[in-house]
Amino acid sequence: SLGSSLIGSMYILDEPSIGLHSHDTQKLIGVLRSLQAEGNTLIVVEHDEEIMEAADQLVDLGPMAGRNGGEIVFQGNHAELLSQNESLTAKYLTGRLSIPVPQNRRKVRNKILMHKVEKNNLRGFDVIFPLNMLCVVTGVSGSGKTTLVKDLLYPRLKRRIEQREGHQASDGVVSGDLSQVAQIEYVNQNPIGKSSRSNPVTYVKAFDNMRSLLSSQPLAQQRRYKASHFSFNVSGGRCDNCEGEGDVKVEMQFMADIFLKCELCSGKRYKDEVLEVLFDEKSIYDILEMTIDEALEFFGSHRNNNECTRIVQKLQPLQDVGLGYLKLGQSSNTLSGGEAQRIKLASFLVKGQNEAPTLFIFDEPTTGLHFHDIHKLLIAMNALIELGHSVIVIEHNMDVIKCADWVIDLGPGGGVNGGNLVFSGTPEELARCEESLTGKYLGPKLNPVTAES
């Protein structure tokens, strides 16, 4: 765009800072300013603190998410935003709300070692990944983070777990306390299901309990309805016209297909007679239209019912990771990558202590998240660790890095100027590392902490 010499144009940019280190974000701001100086207008959808500070005008939406959002909470410049009391964004920018620095860092006890790490621009170093703690892999864009974690650590450790015997490759060896990891999960931002019928409650298995609950009601018993009658995945109780989709696809010969609301069920997915079965005046359709927050309140008021108790137990982690605004039956193809990733995290929290010791790898989980959501995400990750699991995060967000127990920083630059292990240790030590660009931006975020005894 800079090379095109366009003037008088409007650019709409959706989270251009995704995947960028703070060092790279400053370069991005410079590019945006150059476009503006050419006489162009820029509208940017962003959560990044540095880009907010650089903006001439801010429009803050809220006050919360989903049905509790959609209002303009504030419009004005950065200085005016900071004086607002209603804005959640302003509260985090001013420090009235904050993501606290941990008072203690977990100490390294068990660890995985990778020797002679060499692939793409990685230069053959040895590196330690501590277990049973929050380990964050950082570095500027192109420094080798994804190569190290996704391309090397994950497949090698997965093979070692599956084979439980030594595996050696020309570009490195995995060793260490391998017995402390029973399985490994790479939690990405891919959709949670391939079908439009998949949704948050099917993923965390709460839908099974909801269907059992409806099938146990007197009218369902009288009509001999089984739990399968309340599923939109199999025939029986679902609408025969749309097959439980709620809409019907109309194929267009020379254009993209369009979807129209099913005329037979009016988008409700089920046959009328199935919707006559109620629990506390709610049909299965009414329940799926609830948000997670509403459902927790609804089912929580029936604590004497075992199915309701199980439903609450499975929905609670979804609220804990900041997804309370989602509808229970919201199709997975309408979810963002960040929402899908947090649903996956919630599903692991549902399993709780029943899950074998697992190493979780998250690739930039803060993508698209507000400060408030990042705070909830960190609480959920620490809950996994307290259950006996380990968490490795590839991340640029300084609020996540400051909360890490251990940081692995690659660089010092990107591409041919990266691929080195610049630093490995605590965030406080990283902030004092003069060779690290991450440390330069991390320092202002930190407060003194005491080591765990």
The CATH number of whichever domain residue 382 belongs to comes to 3.40.50.300
Nearest CA-CA partner of 65 in 292, 246, 221: 292
Same domain? 77 vs 22: yes
Q: Which pLDDT belongs to residue 286?
A: 98
* Residue 3 confidence class, pLDDT cut points 50, 70, 90: low
Same domain? 204 vs 222: yes
Q: What is the number of domains present in the chain?
A: 3
Tokens of 274: 């199935």
Same domain? 78 vs 178: no
Same domain? 135 vs 210: no
Same domain? 205 vs 278: yes
Tokens of 224: 């001999």
Q: Tell whether 99 is covered by a domain.
A: no
Nearest CA-CA partner of 99 in 369, 294, 319: 369
Q: Which pLDDT belongs to residue 4?
A: 64
Same domain? 206 vs 313: yes
- To the nearest 10 degrees (0 to 180), the angle between helices 306-320 and 371-386 is 120
* Residue 163 confidence class, pLDDT cut points 50, 70, 90: confident
Helix, strand, or coil here: 249? strand
8 Å CB contact between 134 and 152: no
Same domain? 346 vs 431: yes
pLDDT tens string 411-438: 999 999 999 999 999 999 999 999 999 9
d(CA 362, CA 393): 5
Q: Tell whether 208 is covered by a domain.
A: yes
Helix, strand, or coil here: 330? coil
d(CA 214, CA 225): 9
Q: Tell whether 254 is covered by a domain.
A: yes
d(CA 154, CA 92): 35
Tokens of 262: 């099913």
Same domain? 232 vs 302: yes
Residues whose CB falls within 8 Å of the CB of residue 402, separated by 6 or more in sequence, listed in order: 99, 101, 427, 442, 445, 446
Q: Residue 5 above 70 pLDDT?
A: no
Q: Residue 168 above 90 pLDDT?
A: no
What is the domain range of residue 15?
Answer: 2-94
Q: Which pLDDT belongs to residue 451?
A: 43
d(CA 152, CA 171): 9
Q: Tell whether 127 is covered by a domain.
A: yes
Same domain? 341 vs 442: yes
pLDDT tens string 389-405: 999 999 999 999 999 99
Same domain? 358 vs 302: no
* Residue 171 confidence class, pLDDT cut points 50, 70, 90: very low
d(CA 359, CA 178): 11
Q: Tell whether 325 is covered by a domain.
A: no
* Mean confidence (pLDDT) of the chain: 91
For the chain, give the percent of residues with pLDDT over 90.
Answer: 81
Segment 97-119 mean pLDDT = 94
For the chain, give the percent of residues with pLDDT over 70.
Answer: 95
Residues whose CB falls within 8 Å of the CB of residue 413, separated by 6 or more in sequence, listed in order: 140, 142, 143, 437
Nearest CA-CA partner of 340 in 453, 179, 199, 180: 199
Q: Tell whether 194 is covered by a domain.
A: no
d(CA 440, CA 412): 12
Sign of CA dihedral 291, 293, 298, 302: positive
8 Å CB contact between 22 and 140: no
H/E segment holding residue 408: strand 406-411
Q: Residue 165 above 80 pLDDT?
A: no
For 65, phi and psi rounded to 5 degrees?
-115, 165
Segment 155-160 mean pLDDT = 90
Q: How many of the other CB atoms lie within 10 Å of CB of 39?
A: 10
Q: Tell whether 326 is covered by a domain.
A: no
Render the burial of 134-157: b for 16+ CB within 10 Å, e for the rest: bbbbbbbbbbbbbbbbeebbbebb
Q: Tell whether 405 is covered by a domain.
A: yes
Segment 334-338 mean pLDDT = 89
Same domain? 309 vs 212: yes
